[in-house]
Amino acid sequence: MKAVHTELHRSHDPQFFLVRGVVKRTTEQPERADRLLKGLKDGKHQLVEPTTFGQGPRARVHSPEYLSFLSEAWDAWTALGDSGPEMIGNIHPVRHAATYPTHIVGKLGWHTADTAAPIGRGTWAAVCAATDVAVTAAQMVLDGEDATYALCRPPGHHAYRDMAGGFCFLNNSAIAAAHLRQRHERVVILDVDVHHGNGTQGIFYARPDVYTISIHADPTAYYPFVWGYAHERGEGEGRGTNLNIPLAIGTGDEGYIQAMDVARKAIESFAPGALVIALGLDASEHDPLRGLAVTTPGFRRIGQAIAKMGLPTVFVQEGGYLSDILGANLTSVLAGFEEAR
């Protein structure tokens, strides 16, 4: 399996992370990519540089106002003259009878769901590079590759059509799926991150052509808290094309594989032409946030289960934070896929 990667991700190096009222260094650091690259090297995967696709693929998923905000935000922020080293919203209007703001502080609050997506000088360049990585991987599958892996950083599955959050700015998995839709009538996004893919769900919630499935830790006790429940099934024409499979905190290999079987049956019923895996490695027993407890051999079984779905597949990297086992878990899931294909 070929892997797409660019060093341009390094321009995004956020510092701020608010955890239960305590400010800490974020775990979404450039070092994450280094550990993932080590996993790719151990798996002997060929690295491919991304093609630059421009704004088109991003505009299929994200609103013009949001893309404009992200591209211009840093210059507007620094022009204030008394702003901090990162952009962190201090107002979140949640859109109740609200008017779209013209001031950068108002726009920052409008376009961020939480404080976990600080914007810095190099953020826009990095998020654009990440979408190019995802689209390149999707295009390679359209061109005949059976499966590809996109090492996207920053991640994307918490990003809505016009809102950042949870370390995410542009929704790489959604953008990859929309690119695959240029050829395939139906596409599935299967999110195996420990956190619910709330942004992905929001983007496709009323659409019948992209089935969004998320296996994640119980949102009653785990981020994002207000999305990710089993009763969320889609709306309008998209009713029935969203499936959430929340798992009890601490669920290990067996419970996770059972959830994968539920997802497989749903995917078979939908009969898609291609599959996007929003690959979170933070379901690991060694992840610093410890929501679930999948072992490294368990990730191999997840890869095997994905392979048996028999679809052209794009793996898009989502979560998986700084732990000694991160690279090994990536090696394991991709090896399991290749073994079972």
Give the catalytic positions in this structure. Answer: 158
CB 178 within 8 A of CB 201: no
Strand 147-150, strand 47-48: pairing: unpaired
Residue entry with tokens 């499979």: 245
- Token readout for 316 is 């898009």
Q: For 285, which DSSP code?
A: T
CA 95 from centroid of its chain's CA atoms: 24
Buried b (16+ CB within 10 A) or exposed e, 88-112: bbeebeeeeeeeeeeebbbbbbbbb
Strand-strand pairing, 47-48 and 2-4:
parallel
Q: What is the DSSP string of 221-264?
A: TSTTSSS--TT----GGGTT-EEEEEE-TT--HHHHHHHHHHHH
The vertex-332 CA angle with 11 and 45, nearest 5°, equals 60
CB 186 within 8 A of CB 210: yes
Q: Is the dihedral of CA 18, 22, 28, 30 positive or negative?
A: positive
What single DSSP character describes residue 81? S
Ranges of H-type helices in the chain: 31-42, 56-59, 64-78, 104-110, 123-142, 172-180, 198-204, 253-270, 296-307, 326-340
- What pairs with residue 149 in β-bridges? 3, 315
Report the alpha-carbon distance of residue 47 to residue 49 in Å, rounded: 7
- Helices 326-340, 31-42: crossing angle, 10 deg rounding: 40
